[in-house]
Structure 1
């Protein structure tokens, strides 16, 4: 699969920030100018800049444009935006992320899954457990439930690549809302086996429900990583 246009635009802008072409605390060219230069739509540029803002590279000033933020002293390489709608491959690069499917079945949902996905007990769900590796090292243990009626023909080929890319590009589904809860937990047997965590290690767990634009929940999932492998951050901008 080819890299999405907005990711290419984001990479170009990020490289220009890195090499000093776009300097700290200065405005970027406006979206129309960037779109014309790079041969893409203004919407593609906006999506690229939105992603860079979540990464903490730029910030937007209402009526003034988008500015280069510059270095954030407390920022670390394993920081991830807590308010993003993208998968790991988009966030960290297709060449760096691989998936190992540990469990994949179609089940009838228990009461908790029924409540979280707003489905009945006779509506089957995919029950998916994947180990996501970053540069071939264990990174995230991801347990996902999705209604079969909303995600037809999900298979191992897709699971070993990108579920979100299949949802967005093939099924043309659009996310609208995500509720995320981040908490600390003790390492369980799965964490010890697949994430190589020690018995007393702390685990960071991201629990989330994602809704489609029509208000139907499409995903309930938990993502677990060792405490020192990944942080979740939010960049908030406000003009006072």
Structure 2
């Protein structure tokens, strides 16, 4: 299956930026020019540029245009702290595999009720997955979804991308996410599944994702060895 047009455009532009075909601190061509070059709509160009901006490769400066930063960190395993669209989309489906450690339906604990804004009798999926990149264990994800909002989940879906199922099959659109990133030490589960050592630093990400309707759809906790993956923040002064 070929990538969506905007991802194809973004991939070409990303390559140009990294090879300095678009030089750092230079202005990109305007959206009309890019749309004509790639043979796509301005909306497609906008979506491609929005993705590159999230990666810290470009930024839009009011009254000037879109400026090439060319300063993004080169570690492909880093994740922008504001990005919430999933590991598969970040590194590519060909590189990601999921091992299901737990897949149950249960009633939510008080904490899950609070994070998803639901009652005690609203069933949730309780999912724990080990995410592997190119066969290497990378992240343990512990995720809760409302059964009513994400019906008919299967092992096959969990082995690939849940987000792709939510977007493409259920036609639900993510509105945003809140993430809290902290540091801790390995648990026995981290040692067993991630290959960590006792007392090794671990990064833990607690996340709530909501839809464009404003409804919370996911509460999750992800853990990875600090030596394997870090999180980046791009802070731009638009004044």
- Whole-angstrom CA distance in 2 between matches of 1:2 and 1:101: 27
Specify the alignment match of 2:109 in structure 1.
Answer: 110
1:93 and 2:92 matched: yes
- Whole-angstrom CA distance in 2 between matches of 1:75 and 1:123: 43
* TM-fit CA distance, 1:35: 2.1
Specify the alignment match of 1:43 in structure 2.
Answer: 43
Q: Secondary structure at the match of 2:238?
A: coil
Size of the aligned set, in residue pairs, is 239
Specify the alignment match of 1:53 in structure 2.
Answer: 53
Q: Secondary structure at the match of 2:192?
A: helix
Specify the alignment match of 2:231 in structure 1.
Answer: 232
**TM-score, scaled relative to structure 1:** 0.94
Tell me the alpha carbon deviations over residues 118-146 of structure 1, each in whole angstroms, 9 at most, x when there is no partner. Answer: 11111110111111111110111111000
- Whole-angstrom CA distance in 2 between matches of 1:75 and 1:166: 30
Contact 2:110/2:120 (8 A) holds in 1? yes
User: Gaps spanning 5+ residues in structure 1: where?
Assistant: none
* TM-fit CA distance, 1:207: 0.3
Specify the alignment match of 1:69 in structure 2.
Answer: 69
* TM-fit CA distance, 1:93: 1.5
- Whole-angstrom CA distance in 2 between matches of 1:48 and 1:154: 30
Specify the alignment match of 1:82 in structure 2.
Answer: 81
User: Gaps spanning 5+ residues in structure 2: where?
Assistant: none
Contact 2:18/2:70 (8 A) holds in 1? no
Specify the alignment match of 1:143 in structure 2.
Answer: 142
Specify the alignment match of 2:167 in structure 1.
Answer: 168
1:209 and 2:208 matched: yes
* TM-fit CA distance, 1:231: 0.9
Contact 1:53/1:235 (8 A) holds in 2? no
* TM-fit CA distance, 1:198: 0.8
Specify the alignment match of 2:193 in structure 1.
Answer: 194
Specify the alignment match of 2:178 in structure 1.
Answer: 179
Q: Secondary structure at the match of 2:176?
A: strand
Contact 2:141/2:223 (8 A) holds in 1? yes
Q: Secondary structure at the match of 1:123?
A: coil
* TM-fit CA distance, 1:75: 5.7
1:158 and 2:149 matched: no
- Whole-angstrom CA distance in 1 between matches of 2:20 and 2:94: 26
**TM-score, scaled relative to structure 2:** 0.95
Contact 1:104/1:129 (8 A) holds in 2? yes
- Whole-angstrom CA distance in 1 between matches of 2:3 and 2:214: 29
Q: Secondary structure at the match of 1:103?
A: strand
Comparing 1-10 with 150-159, greater Cα deviation is found at: 1-10
Tell me the alpha carbon deviations over residues 175-216 of structure 1, each in whole angstroms, 9 at most, x when there is no partner. Answer: 112111000111111111111111111110010101111111
